Amino acid sequence: MAERMLKFVATPQRTPDKRSAAERSGDWDEIYREFSAERATEQASRCSQCGVPFCQVHCPLGNNIPDWLKLTAEGRLEEAYEVASATNTFPEICGRICPQDRLCEGNCVIEKGFESVTIGAVEKYITDTAFEKGWVRPPSPQRELPYSVGIIGAGPGGLAAAEQLRRQGYAVDLYDRYDRPGGLMIYGIPNFKLEKPVVLRRWDLYRAAGIRFHMDCAVGKDISLAELRNRHDAVLIATGVYKARELGGPGSGLSGIVPALDYLTASNRSGLGDSVPAFADGTLNAAGRKVVVIGGGDTAMDCVRTAIRQGATSVTCLYRRDKANMPGSMREVKHAEEEGVRFEWLAAPEAFLGDRAVAGVRAVRMHLGLPDPAGRQQVEPIAGSAFTVEADLVIKALGFDPEDVPAMFGETGLAVTRWGTLKVDHRTMMTSVPGVFAAGDIVRGASLVVWAIRDGRDAAAQMHRFIQEKAAATVAVAAE
């Protein structure tokens, strides 16, 4: 049905309708409306079905994007879902939160004058339709295997590995220190980007498939890694990285200066109906306050847009580089600007003002200098350029580092890199402890959900190989 494709020459790019800034700033709903079937089909038909699909090449999961776009254009949605889910454990989540402008859509080969294909929105439409139609089923195996695996961390990497291993027939146990699975997808990403039922419905599917969840279970405290190794044939560490990077300088110890994840977790927990004292008493609540967020990544954008919805009187983002060098998604920056966030580009905090509680941030203007060894321009302060931004809540969104996993798990044999991440053999994804694997941010450092999914799926394949080779070796020894 080639005539259904290549419509980009006559059909303009269109995303789902976006709610007005005034409307969406007053609630926590996702900002885009649903794609209609007609619109999704129309936008999918813009794909050029090119011979070398750069969208697929630049997708960490290698998703077969042209294939499921063609199937969507032809109205074959159930097949489109099967193709999309073959390489992506959570297409409905990636369709919402992946920075498509930097990955698939940003590398679409259609000339920029025609604009790229609307990939993310179509992916979301396919999977949401699949859930509505009942096409998404628990990952049940064809046969049960006499082996079990333990997975530490129920974030995207751990969940992706759990699904793959369960499909192959392993007994799967997931251990997580939080009360709900999902990791940052539940507690770190705001509802207006990813509504929580979208994540939690996967929990229902996995439990129906026989995956056992051990929530509120902190490995190293409630159970040891040694116990998990004795209990399971292989163990995967997929804990992510949660330790906030510190911000020094005069006044950095004042009250009212809080880590981004603490702030976002309090907001998300409150939205889920949990009792959050620090949210209720205003410690982690921006309502009626002058907010300054320091940082330029996607977490910073989550914070500024959360503060707007909580009713902050003003929200300012300080970032030491310019807009073009910002690591976060440009779409998120645009959304934030529309919603009333003020950006101070090329500005870095110098000191925090106040007696006991923060009352302002003294910042200094920066300019971009010569490239560093990695090729990125260095930033240098401009003498005499200091200025002050009023603030009674400052949120540090400077990124995350790994916790001391060997100490936390009581396993000194776990080797780490100089950055504190777990050291693995990148061919097998196994750590320095035999039978213990690692995947996701705890190996690569703070990164995207889509990379955690990729790593989780890869780790599952390596764990399967390890267990099968070990079983074969045992049989061979017994036969001698």
- Contact predicate 311/287, CB 8 Å: yes
* Residue 476, token pair as written in the block: 């061979």
The proportion of the chain whose per-residue pLDDT surpasses 90, expressed as a percent, equals: 90
- Contact predicate 387/363, CB 8 Å: yes
Amino acid at 43: Q
Least confident range of 183-187, 261-265, 325-329, 412-416: 325-329
The proportion of the chain whose per-residue pLDDT surpasses 70, expressed as a percent, equals: 99
Q: Which helix (H) or strand (E) holds 149?
A: strand 148-152
pLDDT at 408: 93
Instruction: Please give the Cα distance from 403 to 153 (Å, whole number).
Output: 14
pLDDT at 371: 84
pLDDT at 340: 97
Nearest partner of 322 among 363, 377, 372, judged by Cα: 377
Maximum Cα interatomic distance, the chain, rounded to a whole number of Å: 81
pLDDT at 3: 66
Residue 252 CA: distances (Å) to CA of 291, 349, 392: 15, 10, 13
Residue 400 phi/psi, 5-degree rounding, is -130, 150
The DSSP call for residue 20 is P
Q: What is the pLDDT of residues 375-434, one digit of tens each?
A: 888 899 999 999 999 999 999 999 999 999 999 999 999 999 999 999 999 999 999 999
Amino acid at 30: E
CA dihedral over 110, 114, 115, 118, signed as positive or negative = negative
First to last CA, the chain: 59
Of the two residues 301 and 2, the one the predictor is more confident about is: 301
pLDDT at 294: 98
Instruction: Please give the Cα distance from 437 to 465 (Å, whole number).
Output: 12
- Contact predicate 11/114, CB 8 Å: no
Nearest partner of 454 among 98, 111, 127, judged by Cα: 98
> 77-87 vs 119-133: helix axis angle to the nearest 10?
110
pLDDT at 171: 98
Q: What is the pLDDT of residues 52-99, one digit of tens each?
A: 999 999 999 999 999 999 999 999 999 999 999 999 999 999 999 999
- Contact predicate 89/81, CB 8 Å: no
The DSSP call for residue 373 is T
* Residue 418, token pair as written in the block: 């100089």
How many helices (H) and strands (E) are present in the chain, helices listed first?
A: 18, 16
- Paired with 244 in beta bridges are 400
Average pLDDT, the chain: 95
Q: Is 292 left (phi over 0), alpha (psi -120 to 50) or beta?
A: beta
pLDDT at 112: 74
Average pLDDT for residues 231-254, to the nearest whole number?
94
- Contact predicate 344/317, CB 8 Å: yes
Q: What is the pLDDT of residues 332-391, one digit of tens each?
A: 999 999 999 999 999 999 999 999 999 999 999 999 988 888 788 889 999 999 999 999
pLDDT at 367: 94
Instruction: Please give the Cα distance from 50 to 66 (Å, whole number).
Output: 8
The structure tokens 């073959």 sit at: 86
Domains detected in the chain: 2-133 (1.10.1060.10), 148-241+402-479 (3.50.50.60), 247-400 (3.50.50.60)
Instruction: Please give the Cα distance from 215 to 155 (Å, whole number).
Output: 12
Average pLDDT for residues 161-190, to the nearest whole number?
97
pLDDT at 1: 46
Amino acid at 277: P
Q: Which helix (H) or strand (E) holds 438?
A: strand 436-438
